[in-house]
Amino acid sequence: MIEKNDSQILNREKRAQDLINETKLLNIARLAKILIDIYGLNEPFKKIGKREGQEVEFYFPSLNGYLTFILVKNRDNFEPRMGRSINPISYVTINVKRDDVVRVVSDIVRMKFNIFGLLRFFLKYIITRRIKMSGSLGATLKLLRCISLGKHDMYKFKDKGE
C-alpha cells in the first residue's frame, strides 16, 4: 500500500509539473500576441513575401513543449499557438534552463533587427548553442524580424531632462 501512495504522489507531482510547463508556454504565446498587437511594426510583416503561411516550430526541452508561429503578411492575423506544427519549414530549439526561458524570449523580443542586433544574437545564443536552428534559415529570420520590437519608439533613449 505504501508503494501505491508513492506512485500516486509522483504521478500527481508529474501532472502538476506538466500543467505548470503548459501554462508557461501558453503565457509566452499570449505575451507574443499581445506585444505584436500593441507594439508590433507593420513593415516586417509586409516583407514576409513568399514565406506567408509557412510554420516555424519552437521547441523548449526544459518545458517539454512546443510553440508554433505561422508567418503572415498582416500583423493583426499573427496567432502563435501552443503545440506541434503540422508542416514546419523550420525548427528552433531553445535549450536553456526552465528559469531562463522567459529571459531568453524577452531578449529576442527586445532585440533590434539590424546587423548589430543579429550579430549579438548569434554570438550570445547560436554560437553558445543555447538556441539551435534547423530547416529554413530564411523563414526563421523573417519570424525573428517580426517579433523583434527593438526599433519601437518605447526603446529609444530619452533625456531625463525633457
Tens digit of pLDDT for each residue in 107-150?
888 888 888 988 998 999 999 999 999 999 999 999 999 998 87
Q: What is the mean pLDDT of residues 85-102?
A: 93
Domains of the chain: 2-153 (3.30.1050.10)
Contact 35, 24 (CB under 8 A): no
Least confident range of 39-43, 87-91, 157-161: 157-161
Q: Does the pLDDT value for residue 48 go beyond 50?
A: yes
pTM of the model: 0.84
45/1: higher pLDDT: 45
3-state SS, residue 133: strand
Q: Phi then psi for 52, rounded to 5 degrees?
A: -60, 135
Residues 6+ positions from 119 with CB-CB distance below 8 Å: none
The residues that bridge with 60 in the sheet, in sequence order, are 65
Using pLDDT thresholds of 50, 70 and 90, give the confidence band for residue 91: very high
